[in-house]
């Protein structure tokens, strides 16, 4: 798929898995506040799971702190806090809608989205379009751990995806921590028009991974224009290519895979 933007940007997002872990949260809040390389970090949060004993009051207090420091996104674990992808017989699109309503009822208004385990389908994409999200779920390359036939979406550059509910702006995730460190260390290693780096809050608990991430973001911020999904979507809307969701969908079957 050809590039859709001429100016080269960078965005960064964190999949917030353990917001109730005091150490992980403190490290994340510090990073989001400092913005290494001038890069805003999108905190992709999932609602607390009461069945797993996650406290709503502490969750909400910490999300408010993250929102004061940077942009927020909606992250969905389709099955449980420890099982990101949906199981057979679940309703992924319905879960996105219910979680979005729960968030808004508490004054939390994320502007972007990323499905757990990189899962998405036509109904999920349509739900994100209805909610006005910018979707970070598509990947520039297939996640190596996915089994054959598992659903995901492949996209090499930002685009507007045609869904049953209208157009959905998508900014594909391109680099993990290891990917971005390797890309920055070699000439021509950043070929993507928009570099979208992701990490997990649990990565910050490992000093080596944390230091590698921070160093990479400082370099990335010098090589690309720092942005976030919302600002980037506003910038590229007029010129972004329109692509049917079916053209980027990957995987087989009509329902969620195990």
In angstroms, the CA 68 to CA 72 distance is 9
Residues 71, 42: contact at Cβ < 8 Å?
Answer: yes
Q: State the pLDDT at residue 3.
A: 42
Q: The tokens of 240 are what?
A: 């972004």
Q: State the pLDDT at residue 253.
A: 54
The mean pLDDT of the chain is: 93
Rg (CA), the chain: 17
Q: State the pLDDT at residue 143.
A: 94
Q: What are the structural domains of the chain? A: 9-250 (3.20.20.370)
pTM of the model: 0.93
- The gap between the terminal CA atoms of the chain, to the nearest Å, is 29
pLDDT in tens, 2-48: 344 557 999 999 999 999 999 999 999 999 999 999 999 999 999 99
């Amino acid at each position: 798929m050809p590039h859709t933007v001429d100016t080269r940007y960078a965005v960064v997002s964190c999949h917030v898995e353990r917001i109730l872990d005091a150490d992980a949260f403190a490290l994340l809040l510090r990073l989001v506040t400092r913005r290494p390389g001038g890069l805003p970090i999108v905190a992709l949060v999932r609602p607390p799971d009461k069945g797993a004993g996650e406290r709503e009051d502490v969750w909400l207090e910490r999300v408010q702190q993250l929102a004061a420091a940077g942009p927020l996104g909606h992250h969905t674990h389709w099955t449980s806090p420890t099982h990101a992808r949906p199981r057979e017989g679940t309703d992924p699109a319905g879960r996105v809608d219910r979680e979005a309503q729960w968030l808004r009822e508490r004054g939390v208004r994320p502007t972007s989205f990323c499905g757990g385990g990189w899962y998405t389908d036509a109904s999920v994409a349509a739900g994100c379009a209805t909610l006005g999200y910018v979707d970070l779920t598509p990947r520039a390359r297939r996640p190596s751990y996915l089994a054959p036939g598992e659903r995901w979406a492949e996209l090499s550059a930002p685009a507007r995806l045609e869904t049953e509910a209208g157009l959905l702006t998508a900014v594909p995730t391109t680099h993990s921590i290891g990917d971005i460190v390797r890309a920055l260390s070699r000439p021509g290693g950043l070929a993507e028009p928009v570099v979208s780096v992701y990490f997990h809050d649990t990565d910050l608990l490992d000093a080596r991974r944390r230091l590698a991430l921070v160093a990479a973001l400082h370099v990335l911020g010098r090589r690309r224009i720092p942005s976030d999904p919302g600002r980037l979507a506003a910038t590229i809307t007029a010129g972004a290519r329109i692509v049917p969701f079916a053209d980027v969908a990957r995987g087989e079957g009509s329902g969620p895979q195990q």
